Amino acid sequence: MVRRIIKIGNSDGITIPVRMMRVMKLKVGDQIEVVISETGGIAKNIELAQDLHKLIR
Protein backbone atom coordinates (compact mmCIF):
# COMPACT_ATOMS: atom_id res chain seq x y z
CA MET A 1 0.00 0.00 0.00
CA VAL A 2 1.32 3.40 -0.93
CA ARG A 3 0.45 6.33 1.32
CA ARG A 4 1.36 9.98 0.94
CA ILE A 5 2.76 12.00 3.86
CA ILE A 6 0.37 14.85 4.62
CA LYS A 7 0.40 17.92 6.85
CA ILE A 8 -1.61 17.49 10.08
CA GLY A 9 -1.53 20.73 12.06
CA ASN A 10 2.14 21.42 12.86
CA SER A 11 3.07 17.78 12.21
CA ASP A 12 3.36 15.45 9.25
CA GLY A 13 1.62 12.08 9.09
CA ILE A 14 -0.09 9.40 7.07
CA THR A 15 -3.67 8.19 7.08
CA ILE A 16 -4.84 4.60 7.46
CA PRO A 17 -7.66 3.51 5.12
CA VAL A 18 -10.93 2.62 6.85
CA ARG A 19 -10.81 -0.92 5.38
CA MET A 20 -7.48 -1.53 7.09
CA MET A 21 -8.78 -0.01 10.32
CA ARG A 22 -11.70 -2.45 10.27
CA VAL A 23 -9.56 -5.51 9.44
CA MET A 24 -7.11 -4.67 12.23
CA LYS A 25 -9.95 -3.65 14.59
CA LEU A 26 -8.36 -0.24 15.18
CA LYS A 27 -10.17 2.85 16.36
CA VAL A 28 -9.26 6.49 16.83
CA GLY A 29 -6.99 6.82 19.87
CA ASP A 30 -5.46 3.32 19.60
CA GLN A 31 -1.67 3.16 19.68
CA ILE A 32 0.17 1.35 16.89
CA GLU A 33 3.83 0.59 16.39
CA VAL A 34 5.50 1.71 13.16
CA VAL A 35 8.72 -0.18 12.47
CA ILE A 36 11.27 1.28 10.05
CA SER A 37 14.00 -1.03 8.77
CA GLU A 38 17.71 -0.17 8.69
CA THR A 39 17.44 0.47 4.95
CA GLY A 40 14.72 3.04 5.57
CA GLY A 41 11.83 0.85 4.42
CA ILE A 42 8.79 0.38 6.60
CA ALA A 43 8.63 -3.25 7.73
CA LYS A 44 5.32 -5.01 7.26
CA ASN A 45 3.70 -8.15 8.54
CA ILE A 46 3.59 -10.44 5.48
CA GLU A 47 0.49 -12.34 6.65
CA LEU A 48 -1.38 -9.09 7.28
CA ALA A 49 -0.32 -7.74 3.88
CA GLN A 50 -1.65 -10.88 2.19
CA ASP A 51 -4.96 -10.63 4.09
CA LEU A 52 -5.31 -6.97 3.12
CA HIS A 53 -4.53 -7.76 -0.51
CA LYS A 54 -7.34 -10.36 -0.52
CA LEU A 55 -9.73 -7.86 1.08
CA ILE A 56 -8.99 -5.16 -1.49
CA ARG A 57 -9.64 -7.55 -4.41
Q: Which residue has the higher pLDDT, 18 or 36?
A: 18
Whole-number pLDDT of residue 6: 96
Portion of the chain with pLDDT greater than 90, in percent: 18
Q: CA 55 → CA 21, 23, 45, 46, 49, distances in Å?
A: 12, 9, 15, 14, 10
Q: Measured between alpha carbons, how far is 28 from 12 in angstroms, rounded to an integer?
A: 17
Split at pLDDT 50, 70, 90, the class of 18 is very high
Q: Measured between alpha carbons, how far is 6 from 15 in angstroms, rounded to an integer?
A: 8
Over the stretch 22-38, which tens digit does the pLDDT of each residue have?
888 888 888 887 777 77
β-pair partners for 36: 42
Mean pLDDT of the chain: 78
Dmax over CA atoms of the chain, in Å, equals 36
